[in-house]
Structure 1
Amino acid sequence: MMTEIAPTEFTPFVSLIGGMLIGTAAVLLMAFQGRIFGATGILAGFLTPVNSSDWAWRAVLLAGMVTGPLVYALFTGHFPAVDVPVTKGALLIGGFIVGIGVSYGSGCTSGHGVCGMARLSPRSIVATLSFMASTAVTVFVIRHIFGGA
Structure 2
Amino acid sequence: MNPVTEFTPLASIAGGALIGLAAVLLMALHGRILGATGILSGLMRGGDARDWQLRAALVAGMVLAPVAILALTGWSPAITIPVSRPAIVVGGLIVGVGVSYGGGCTSGHGVCGNARFSRRSIVATASFMATAFVTVFVIRHLIGA
- Relative to the length of structure 1, the TM-score reads 0.94
Q: Which residue of 1 aligns with 2:55?
A: 58
RMSD value over aligned CA atoms? 0.9
1:44 is matched by which residue type in structure 2? S
**For the residues of structure 1 that align with 2:79 and 2:73, how far apart are their CA atoms?**
15
Q: Secondary structure at the match of 1:80?
A: coil
Matches within 5 A, 1:85-124: 85-124=82-121
SS at match of 2:144: coil
Match among 35, 40, 43 for residue 46 of structure 1: 43
Q: CA deviation at 1:74?
A: 1.3
Q: 1:53-80: per-residue Cα shift (whole Å, max 9, x none)? A: 1100000010000001111111221333
Mapping of 1:62-73 within 5 angstroms?
Answer: 62-73=59-70
Q: Match of 1:97, as an amino acid?
A: I
Q: Distance in 2 between matches of 1:82 and 1:7?
A: 13
Q: Give the residue type in structure 2 aligned to 1:26.
A: A
- Partner SS state of residue 54, structure 2: helix
Shift of 1:49: 2.3
1:26 is matched with 23
- CA distance, structure 2, for counterparts of residue 82 and residue 62 of structure 1: 21
Q: Of residues 134, 138, 148 in structure 1, which corresponds to 2:135?
A: 138
| Kept after mapping to 2: 8 A contact 1:117/1:124 | yes
Deviates more, 1:10-19 or 1:72-81: 72-81
Q: What number of residue pairs does the alignment pair up?
A: 145
Cα distance in 1 for partners of 2:34, 2:50 equals: 17
Q: Distance in 1 between matches of 2:103 and 2:45?
A: 16
Gaps in structure 1 of 5+ consecutive residues: none
Deviations, residues 20-66 of structure 1 (Å, cap 9, x unaligned): 11001101110111000000000000000231011000000100000
Superposition TM-score, scaled by structure 2 size: 0.97
d(CA) in 2 for partners of 1:80 and 1:139? 23
